[in-house]
Amino acid sequence: MSLRGTGDVPGWADGERVRPDDARAGSQPVAVAVVGSLALAVLTLAVASAVHLGVAVRLGVVTLEDPFRGAAIPEAVIAAVLAGGLGAVLAGRPTGRRVGLGTTLFAILGVGYGLNVTVRGTRSGDVVYHLALLALLVASLGLLLLPAVRAGRRRAAPSGTTRPGGREDGE
Protein backbone atom coordinates (compact mmCIF):
# COMPACT_ATOMS: atom_id res chain seq x y z
CA MET A 1 0.00 0.00 0.00
CA SER A 2 1.47 3.31 -0.99
CA LEU A 3 1.78 5.63 1.96
CA ARG A 4 3.89 8.20 0.10
CA GLY A 5 0.94 10.40 -0.80
CA THR A 6 1.56 10.12 -4.53
CA GLY A 7 -2.08 9.46 -5.32
CA ASP A 8 -1.24 5.94 -6.49
CA VAL A 9 -2.78 3.00 -4.70
CA PRO A 10 -1.95 -0.64 -5.26
CA GLY A 11 -4.38 -2.25 -7.63
CA TRP A 12 -5.42 -5.81 -7.65
CA ALA A 13 -4.11 -6.19 -11.16
CA ASP A 14 -1.38 -8.55 -10.01
CA GLY A 15 0.93 -5.79 -8.86
CA GLU A 16 -0.06 -3.13 -11.38
CA ARG A 17 -0.45 0.34 -9.89
CA VAL A 18 -3.63 2.28 -10.52
CA ARG A 19 -4.76 5.85 -10.01
CA PRO A 20 -7.79 6.67 -7.82
CA ASP A 21 -9.72 7.88 -10.89
CA ASP A 22 -9.09 4.54 -12.62
CA ALA A 23 -12.08 2.17 -12.87
CA ARG A 24 -10.16 -0.35 -10.75
CA ALA A 25 -9.69 2.09 -7.89
CA GLY A 26 -12.99 0.80 -6.54
CA SER A 27 -11.02 -2.21 -5.32
CA GLN A 28 -9.06 0.02 -2.92
CA PRO A 29 -11.50 -0.64 -0.03
CA VAL A 30 -11.08 -4.37 -0.70
CA ALA A 31 -7.30 -3.99 -0.63
CA VAL A 32 -7.49 -2.09 2.66
CA ALA A 33 -9.82 -4.73 4.11
CA VAL A 34 -7.50 -7.57 3.05
CA VAL A 35 -4.40 -5.86 4.46
CA GLY A 36 -6.21 -4.90 7.65
CA SER A 37 -7.64 -8.36 8.27
CA LEU A 38 -4.34 -10.11 7.58
CA ALA A 39 -2.46 -7.63 9.80
CA LEU A 40 -4.97 -8.16 12.62
CA ALA A 41 -4.62 -11.93 12.30
CA VAL A 42 -0.80 -11.70 12.40
CA LEU A 43 -0.95 -9.42 15.45
CA THR A 44 -3.34 -11.65 17.40
CA LEU A 45 -1.33 -14.77 16.59
CA ALA A 46 1.89 -13.09 17.74
CA VAL A 47 0.25 -11.93 20.98
CA ALA A 48 -1.30 -15.38 21.56
CA SER A 49 2.10 -16.98 21.02
CA ALA A 50 3.71 -14.62 23.53
CA VAL A 51 0.94 -15.24 26.07
CA HIS A 52 1.29 -18.99 25.62
CA LEU A 53 5.05 -18.64 26.17
CA GLY A 54 4.24 -17.18 29.59
CA VAL A 55 4.32 -13.43 28.87
CA ALA A 56 1.58 -11.56 30.75
CA VAL A 57 -0.13 -8.98 28.53
CA ARG A 58 -2.03 -6.16 30.24
CA LEU A 59 -5.11 -4.84 28.46
CA GLY A 60 -6.35 -2.11 30.76
CA VAL A 61 -7.87 -3.79 33.80
CA VAL A 62 -7.51 -7.27 32.30
CA THR A 63 -4.28 -9.24 32.13
CA LEU A 64 -3.90 -12.11 29.69
CA GLU A 65 -2.01 -14.99 31.26
CA ASP A 66 -2.27 -18.46 29.75
CA PRO A 67 1.01 -20.37 29.67
CA PHE A 68 0.56 -23.23 27.23
CA ARG A 69 3.86 -23.92 25.48
CA GLY A 70 2.33 -26.52 23.19
CA ALA A 71 0.50 -23.75 21.32
CA ALA A 72 3.19 -21.06 21.40
CA ILE A 73 5.42 -22.35 18.62
CA PRO A 74 2.63 -23.28 16.16
CA GLU A 75 1.06 -19.84 16.68
CA ALA A 76 4.41 -18.16 16.07
CA VAL A 77 4.94 -20.20 12.88
CA ILE A 78 1.45 -19.37 11.58
CA ALA A 79 2.01 -15.69 12.42
CA ALA A 80 5.34 -15.68 10.54
CA VAL A 81 3.91 -17.43 7.46
CA LEU A 82 0.88 -15.12 7.41
CA ALA A 83 3.15 -12.10 7.84
CA GLY A 84 5.02 -13.26 4.74
CA GLY A 85 1.71 -13.38 2.86
CA LEU A 86 0.83 -9.92 4.11
CA GLY A 87 4.22 -8.67 2.94
CA ALA A 88 3.67 -10.21 -0.48
CA VAL A 89 0.26 -8.55 -0.79
CA LEU A 90 1.68 -5.20 0.30
CA ALA A 91 4.64 -5.47 -2.08
CA GLY A 92 2.26 -5.47 -5.03
CA ARG A 93 4.26 -8.07 -6.92
CA PRO A 94 2.53 -10.14 -9.63
CA THR A 95 2.33 -13.17 -7.34
CA GLY A 96 1.30 -11.24 -4.20
CA ARG A 97 -2.36 -12.20 -4.25
CA ARG A 98 -1.56 -15.87 -4.85
CA VAL A 99 0.97 -15.89 -2.01
CA GLY A 100 -1.64 -14.21 0.20
CA LEU A 101 -4.15 -16.92 -0.73
CA GLY A 102 -1.67 -19.71 0.05
CA THR A 103 -0.57 -18.30 3.38
CA THR A 104 -4.16 -17.59 4.40
CA LEU A 105 -5.12 -21.19 3.58
CA PHE A 106 -2.14 -22.38 5.63
CA ALA A 107 -3.30 -20.22 8.56
CA ILE A 108 -6.87 -21.52 8.25
CA LEU A 109 -5.60 -25.11 8.42
CA GLY A 110 -3.36 -24.33 11.40
CA VAL A 111 -6.04 -22.47 13.31
CA GLY A 112 -8.55 -25.21 12.48
CA TYR A 113 -6.18 -27.75 13.97
CA GLY A 114 -5.72 -25.53 17.03
CA LEU A 115 -9.48 -25.29 17.41
CA ASN A 116 -9.72 -29.08 17.21
CA VAL A 117 -7.20 -29.38 20.05
CA THR A 118 -8.73 -26.69 22.28
CA VAL A 119 -12.32 -27.88 21.84
CA ARG A 120 -11.35 -31.12 23.59
CA GLY A 121 -10.03 -29.32 26.65
CA THR A 122 -11.30 -26.86 29.23
CA ARG A 123 -9.91 -23.70 27.63
CA SER A 124 -13.15 -21.95 26.63
CA GLY A 125 -11.36 -18.63 26.06
CA ASP A 126 -9.04 -20.32 23.58
CA VAL A 127 -11.99 -21.89 21.76
CA VAL A 128 -13.62 -18.47 21.37
CA TYR A 129 -10.32 -16.99 20.16
CA HIS A 130 -9.84 -19.75 17.58
CA LEU A 131 -13.41 -19.37 16.30
CA ALA A 132 -13.03 -15.59 15.96
CA LEU A 133 -9.64 -15.92 14.26
CA LEU A 134 -10.99 -18.59 11.93
CA ALA A 135 -13.87 -16.28 10.95
CA LEU A 136 -11.38 -13.45 10.28
CA LEU A 137 -9.18 -15.68 8.14
CA VAL A 138 -12.12 -17.07 6.15
CA ALA A 139 -13.29 -13.48 5.54
CA SER A 140 -9.76 -12.57 4.37
CA LEU A 141 -9.76 -15.56 2.04
CA GLY A 142 -13.14 -14.52 0.67
CA LEU A 143 -11.86 -11.01 -0.01
CA LEU A 144 -8.80 -12.38 -1.79
CA LEU A 145 -11.09 -14.53 -3.96
CA LEU A 146 -13.47 -11.75 -5.00
CA PRO A 147 -14.04 -11.73 -8.78
CA ALA A 148 -13.15 -8.02 -8.95
CA VAL A 149 -9.83 -8.81 -7.31
CA ARG A 150 -9.06 -11.69 -9.64
CA ALA A 151 -10.20 -9.85 -12.77
CA GLY A 152 -8.29 -6.63 -12.05
CA ARG A 153 -5.63 -7.19 -14.73
CA ARG A 154 -8.12 -8.07 -17.46
CA ARG A 155 -9.96 -4.77 -17.18
CA ALA A 156 -9.01 -2.14 -19.71
CA ALA A 157 -6.94 0.80 -18.56
CA PRO A 158 -8.52 4.24 -19.05
CA SER A 159 -7.94 5.76 -22.47
CA GLY A 160 -4.59 7.50 -22.84
CA THR A 161 -2.90 5.65 -19.98
CA THR A 162 0.22 3.58 -20.32
CA ARG A 163 0.16 -0.08 -19.40
CA PRO A 164 3.12 -1.92 -17.86
CA GLY A 165 5.79 -2.42 -20.52
CA GLY A 166 5.13 1.00 -22.07
CA ARG A 167 2.18 -0.06 -24.24
CA GLU A 168 -0.61 2.44 -24.76
CA ASP A 169 -4.17 1.34 -23.99
CA GLY A 170 -5.59 -0.50 -26.97
CA GLU A 171 -2.27 -1.90 -28.22
Which pLDDT belongs to residue 65? 79
Q: What is the pTM of this model?
A: 0.71
Which pLDDT belongs to residue 59? 83
d(CA 147, CA 71): 36
Residue-wise pLDDT for 112-125, tens only, equals 999 999 898 777 88
Which pLDDT belongs to residue 153? 41
Q: Which of 86-90, 114-118, 121-125, 166-170 has the lowest mean pLDDT?
A: 166-170
Amino acid at 12: W
Which pLDDT belongs to residue 93? 80
Question: Distance of CA 107 to CAs 42, 101, 150, Å?
Answer: 10, 10, 21
Domain ranges of the chain: 9-148
Q: Which of 77-81, 82-86, 87-91, 92-96 has the lowest mean pLDDT?
A: 92-96
